[in-house]
Amino acid sequence: MRITESKKITDFFGCYVFNDSVMKKYLTEDAYNELKEVIDRDKVLEKELANKVAEAMKEWSTENGATHYTHWFQPLTGTTAEKHDSFISVGKNGEITLEFTGSNLRKGEADASSFPSGGIRATFEARGYTAWDCSSPAFIKKSKDGAAVLCIPTAFCSYTGEALDKKTPLLKSMDAVSRQGVRLLRILGVDARKVIANVGGEQEYFLIDKNDYDKRYDLEFTGRTLFGAMPPKGQEKNDQYYATIRDRVSSFMAELNEELWKLGITAKTQHNEVAPAQHELAPIFCQANIATDQNQLIMETMKKVADSHGLACLLHEKPFAGINGSGKHANYSLGTDTGLNLLKPGSNPAENKVFLLFFLAVIAGVDEYYDLLRMSCSSLGNDCRLGGHEAPPSIISVFIGEDMKSLLDDIVEGHTIASATKQYINMGVNYVARPKRDTSDRNRTSPFAFTGNKFEFRMVGSSATLSTPTMVMNIMTAEMLSRIADRLEKADKNDLDKEILATVKDLYTQHSRIIFNGNNYSKDWAREAKRRGLDSAENAVDAYEALNDKKNMEVFQKHGILSIKEMESRRAIYIDNYVKSANIEVETALMMTRRQILPAVMKWQYKLAKQVDELSEIDEAYAKTSKRMLAGISALIDKLDDAVEELQTAKDGALMAADPRKQAILFRDRVLPVMNGLREIADKLETRVPKEIWPFPTYADILFYE
Ligand code: ADP
Ligand code: MG
């Protein structure tokens, strides 16, 4: 039975989170107030308070069935990591007690030697530390049968203090954008103690039947199908988007929502996406580090719940060739601790200096650092998605909509601007409510779009963590805000308004090349972008070089986000990961071809040969069609076998290269194209043989399951 049949959402929402009401209940008033100070004002968590908080967490979590605790972190593998410790401890007289101290809470020690460090850590310096990020609440993870672990969101660093995770630089970038934002707001006379980066992450995913999933090594090992001919029907009729949700998927979504609500995650919207078997979930936005933690939990919960429904959840960016891939739109805005959204145009944007400056700071940031943005969403998986089937191309530009564009044009040209009155859309029938028109239309083709009061970064891949793209959005914005603040600080107080106007004009004029309101999928845009000097990397291997760029190193140093050594280590890890992932794909394709496809089609070939023999014995004429089929199949089998050898040689060659970046380049240019060629032959064979002999489920089976 669903919980929601007997309980209201409000009665169980956040029941597994050490949230404000739990803190109030389990801490003394003084301790509660002190902890709030630590969380809200970034104070240091002292030992004494940590002891009290740990005790409260232990009480609360053990009452909820927890037997273990873990420091939960995001190593550079891109997933989350946890090592469980039970609460048990042995007392002086050998008795068992339950213990969880302030130091257990504040700091953990993990053997870092098996996590990627990109050369930062020698194996003899295996020590790594995890430290509580107390702005992200602790929570309890529960299995279906009730096994429960208290999870403490943490940052992860090496013995020598270098960040070994995705969270540390994100937190530092949030500080940076807050520092520079507050600085600018002070100049503009707006009182705020903090500027908060907010993120809402829309998560796309595929659901397929677990039985099909289990029969495909490619899905299991690489997350995507390496083979598969297009079925007669794909997504061309646009009949999946927002379509009625089938019962089986509905049950999955209902349980997923309940599990997320228990974890305090505000699962809000759900719908069918464009491709068959594709869906989306979006929570309500919140502070960036929490949104990032929650997104990791959303992905994990999706997989877990799918499994219990006999389904498999695919989070790969392009699980199926020929139909839409999955993205993770990162909706980004900046707000103050007083609740002001700094990217909200308001009723009179032309006069809204705060909006104009923050809005242009983001746009200018994209223009200056688009290579970092491109890097932040690059992976082997996303390379398969970007630029194909309704995914944004790899060229970065910003969509601001016609209203905003004409407003800025008017400002630059010195026209007086009539205050923009909200327009209403007339639906033509009186009894249909008249919706207010947004300040920008949707442009689904844009990789980075202003959508009324936030920017939506759509290039991020479905399996990626939100932390790196958000970190980059924070840094680029922090840097532009700091340049704006530098300029305005020098202005004479009496001329401030004039200087602000001049700054707005300069920012818009200097960075207008990044603004593109047209169709990003068109060929003309690729040419036009080149003409404008926008030179986005076309693939992950090239995109990673942004971490090796002087201008980018400077901005990371200036705002104290990552040291040069840490940037180098990240680049090394990304390249290493690219090579390893590509190699796994090739190994899988080779295995499936040699051990599944070739034996199956050769059996069919043999059957045809016998058929030709037997039919010829009766009459040569009867064997005509069988013979032709045999010839066709045999030619394809030979080609497939040749392709296998070619792929093996290309792969072995690539791995011989001494330098990892060279290996990556060889995989990209020499190996993966051969793998794609091999796939083409195999897919052709799939369509030429009887359905029963094909050794694994086809696209038609998988995408249109019952
Ligand atoms: P769509 O992209 O279809 O227009 P929504 O407007 O519902 O969808 O927004 C999608 C995501 O953007 C949701 O996660 C939502 O909470 C988030 N979002 C809305 N407003 C903001 C904001 N000011 N800052 C960051 N994210 C936001
Ligand atoms: Mg959206």
Distance from residue 328's CA to the centre of ligand 1 (Å): 12
User: In terms of Cα–Cα distance, which of 547, 569, 465 is closest to 117?
Assistant: 569
SS (H, E, C) 148-208: EEEEEEEEEEECCCCECECHHHHHHHHHHHHHHHHHHHHHCCCCCCCEEEEEEEEEEEEEE
Amino acid at residue number 43: K
pLDDT of residue 237: 74
pLDDT at 79 over 90: no
DSSP 28-42: -HHHHHHHHHHHHTT
pLDDT at 574 over 70: yes
pLDDT of residue 390: 62
Distance CA 3, CA 675 (A): 48
pLDDT of residue 232: 85
Q: What is the pTM of this model?
A: 0.94
pLDDT at 515 over 90: yes
Distance CA 469, CA 17 (A): 26
User: What confidence tens digit (pLDDT) does each residue in 605-656 have?
Assistant: 999 999 999 999 999 999 999 999 999 999 999 999 999 999 999 999 999 9
User: In terms of Cα–Cα distance, which of 53, 76, 58 is closest to 155?
Assistant: 76
User: What confidence tens digit (pLDDT) does each residue in 141-174 have?
Assistant: 999 888 999 999 999 888 778 888 999 999 999 9
User: What confidence tens digit (pLDDT) does each residue in 255-308 have?
Assistant: 999 999 999 999 999 998 888 999 999 999 999 999 999 999 999 999 999 999
pLDDT at 424 over 60: no
Asked whether 169 and 471 are in contact (CB, 8 A), the reply is yes
Choosing from 174, 285, 328, 342 the residue with most ligand 1 atoms within 8 A of its CB, the one to mutate for a pocket test is 285
pLDDT at 604 over 70: yes
pLDDT of residue 239: 77
Closest residue by CA, ligand 1 atom 4: 451
Element (H, E) at 71: strand 66-72
pLDDT at 122 over 60: no
* % of residues, the chain, pLDDT over 70: 95
Which residues, 6 or more positions from 578, have their beta carbon under 8 angstroms from its beta carbon?
379, 380, 540, 541, 544, 664, 667
Neighbours of 425 (CB within 10 A): 12
Closest residue by CA, ligand 1 atom 14: 200
Closest-approaching ligand to the CA atom of 267? 1
Token pair belonging to 304:
């877990």
pLDDT band of residue 521 (cuts 50, 70, 90) is confident
Q: Residue range 426-454: average pLDDT?
A: 69
Atom of ligand 1 nearest to the CA of 341: 23
> Reduced to 3 states, what is the DSSP secondary structure of residue 226?
coil
Distance CA 444, CA 456 (A): 10
What Cα–Cα distance (Å) separates residue 125 from each residue in 24, 162, 165, 562?
Answer: 41, 12, 17, 20
pLDDT at 461 over 80: yes
pLDDT band of residue 523 (cuts 50, 70, 90) is confident
Token pair belonging to 484:
């704006």
Amino acid at residue number 452: G
User: What confidence tens digit (pLDDT) does each residue in 190-202 have?
Assistant: 999 999 999 999 9
pLDDT of residue 438: 59
Asked whether 337 and 346 are in contact (CB, 8 A), the reply is no
Would you call 20 exposed, middle or buried from its count of C-beta atoms within 10 A (0-12, 13-18, 19+)?
middle
Q: CA-based Rg of the chain, rounded to a whole angstrom? A: 28
Distance from residue 266's CA to the centre of ligand 1 (Å): 12
User: What confidence tens digit (pLDDT) does each residue in 318-353 have?
Assistant: 999 999 999 999 999 999 999 999 999 998 898 999
Closest-approaching ligand to the CA atom of 327? 2
User: What confidence tens digit (pLDDT) does each residue in 247-256 have?
Assistant: 999 999 999 9
pLDDT of residue 267: 94
Measuring from each residue's beta carbon to the nearest atom of ligand 1, which residues come in under 6 Å? 198-200, 202, 269, 282-285, 331-333, 341, 451, 453-454, 456
pLDDT of residue 423: 53
Which residues, 6 or more positions from 81, have their beta carbon under 8 angstroms from its beta carbon?
72, 73, 74, 75, 110, 115, 156
Distance from residue 432's CA to the centre of ligand 1 (Å): 25
User: In terms of Cα–Cα distance, which of 457, 488, 504 is closest to 353?
Assistant: 504
User: What confidence tens digit (pLDDT) does each residue in 367-421 have?
Assistant: 999 999 999 999 999 999 997 666 677 899 999 998 899 999 998 888 766 544 4
Token pair belonging to 327:
């993205």
Closest residue by CA, ligand 1 atom 17: 200
Distance CA 178, CA 191 (A): 13
Amino acid at residue number 217: Y
Q: Residue range 666-673: average pLDDT?
A: 97
pLDDT of residue 78: 80
Distance from residue 412's CA to the centre of ligand 1 (Å): 30
User: In terms of Cα–Cα distance, which of 632, 636, 642, 630 is closest to 605?
Assistant: 630
pLDDT of residue 394: 82
> What is the rounded average pLDDT for all residues in the chain?
92
Could you tell me which residues are beta bridge partners of residue 314? 206
Token pair belonging to 19:
């949230």
* % of residues, the chain, pLDDT over 90: 77
Closest-approaching ligand to the CA atom of 457? 2
Distance CA 252, CA 234 (A): 23
Residue 251 backbone phi and psi in degrees, to 5:
-65, -40
pLDDT at 598 over 90: yes
User: What confidence tens digit (pLDDT) does each residue in 465-504 have?
Assistant: 999 999 999 999 999 999 999 999 999 989 999 999 999 9
User: What confidence tens digit (pLDDT) does each residue in 529-571 have?
Assistant: 999 999 889 999 999 999 999 999 999 999 999 999 999 999 9
What DSSP state is assigned to residue 93? T
